[in-house]
Amino acid sequence: MENTGVIFETRFGWMGLAGGEGGIQRLYLPVPEKEQASELIRKYFPSLRESVDLFESEIAQIEEYFAGERKEFQFSLDFSSATPFQRKTYEILLMIPFGEVRSYGWIARKMGNEKALRAVGHANGKNRWPLIVPCHRVVGSNGSLTGFSASGGLDLKARLLRHEGVAVENGRVQGLIIS
């Protein structure tokens, strides 16, 4: 699977993923146009060899998620590009259940350093596996949608949260936020 990937269409838009022998190296969240997805994936993988067959399971799981039929993913992720701090952050993000949100402070406390809020936010911004490593489920302690650098920005974050049944109004999560 060295330098292999795929661009595919979902109910939410065009997505891309790339992987190697160690697992999925990068996932690209939905964008409106196929060309946008192609530009995003080829920015980091210019000599990408496309193969839908190698990623049938991953594509099926993502399609099931967007159809409302899947709440957890079974992906092999290649975290070799992540720093130890990022890896620890991502492992904690993976614990946030579908349809729930957590604050940056909650993640920092889980890491054993309640002052690491900015570092947690920075790690989220470097997340190469959004949706699978659910950084969209992280909000400010007051429920505000913050820090989503993916194409589509906070609108996409709100859309993903609403898809999971989280009430979002005026850029804020309504209801329980575990801080």
Q: Cα dist. 177→71, 86, 130, 136 in Å?
A: 19, 23, 20, 13
- The closest of 58, 176, 104, 155 to 163, measured between CA atoms, is 155
**C-beta atoms surrounding 35 within 10 Å:** 11
Whole-angstrom Cα distance, residue 122 to residue 108? Answer: 12
Whether the Cβ atoms of residue 70 and residue 167 lie closer than 8 Å to each other = no
- What secondary structure letter does DSSP report for 144? B
Supply the residues annotated as catalytic: 135
Whole-angstrom Cα distance, residue 8 to residue 30? Answer: 9
DSSP helix/strand/coil, 119: helix
Q: Could you tell me which residues are beta bridge partners of residue 160?
A: none
